[in-house]
A = this chain, B = another copy of it.
Amino acid sequence: MDIADLIARDRPRFRTATAFVESVLREAILSGALPGGTPLRQEELAAGFAVSRMPVREALRQLEAQALVDFTPHKGAVVTDISAQDAADNYAIRAALEPAALRLSVPHLTHEDFDRAEALIAEMDAEGDLARLGELNRRFHLTLYARAGRPRLLALVEQHLAAADRYLRFHFAALGRDHMAQDEHAALLAAARAGDAEGAARIAQAHVETAARNIEAFFARR
């Protein structure tokens, strides 16, 4: 999706221009529309969003705090580029957080949650578009974590899941989309359904770690 589309579609949803610019830029970075290393010129962005430089600057500051852009004084902001180290970092964090979220959440999951998760697995089987596939994958995992009752923990997981989409792009490009590991998703859901929080946590951890290995192998091979 182009940036212009995002602008036209979402502007009314935000009360302030700053929040709007921040949201669009974040999605653009996470979706890969703005690849790592892209310099973000304030004037240019301001013109694109039809606002002044100020909301752009504030938005860039927020993205800096989220480690999505790098700031250098008097040189400006650049989209953080994705390295093998960053990927390893991301997966190490997720491998720690997601099993923890699962352990807290599984005891409180409802039938509706399980049904929704199952439907998402089916949708993933049918979906062809990669961006959409990443979105479905995120929603599947977040559905299973949602009942953890720890909003900050969930926000962290969500943030790092979204960031992982940037690597997922390489993942698919290198290995094909059958590496989405749908059987692991099914096993995860089954364990959660059985109330086996510990087993589910183990599967989730292994799930993240195999993904990490795949990405690592991909980076090593070039």
- The chain A residues found within 8 Å of chain B, CB to CB, are 15-16, 18-19, 54, 57-59, 61-67, 73, 85-86, 88-90, 92-93, 95-97, 99-100, 104, 148, 150-153, 155-156
Contacts and interface: CB of A to CB of B under 8 A. Distances in A.
Contact of A58 (B61, B86, B100): B61
A89 B152 contact: yes
A159 to B, nearest CB: 10
A177 to B, nearest CB: 27
A155 to B, nearest CB: 8
Most B CB within 10 A of own CB, among A62, A96, A155? A96
A92 B153 contact: yes
Given A19-B73, A93-B156, 13 more contacts: A15-B73, A18-B61, A57-B58, A61-B65, A67-B155, A88-B150, A89-B150, A92-B104, A92-B150, A93-B97, A93-B153, A95-B100, A96-B96
A-B pairs, top 5 by smallest CB distance, nearest first, are A65-B65, A96-B100, A89-B152, A62-B65, A61-B61
Contact of A96 (B16, B88, B90, B97): B97
A84 to B, nearest CB: 12
A94 to B, nearest CB: 10
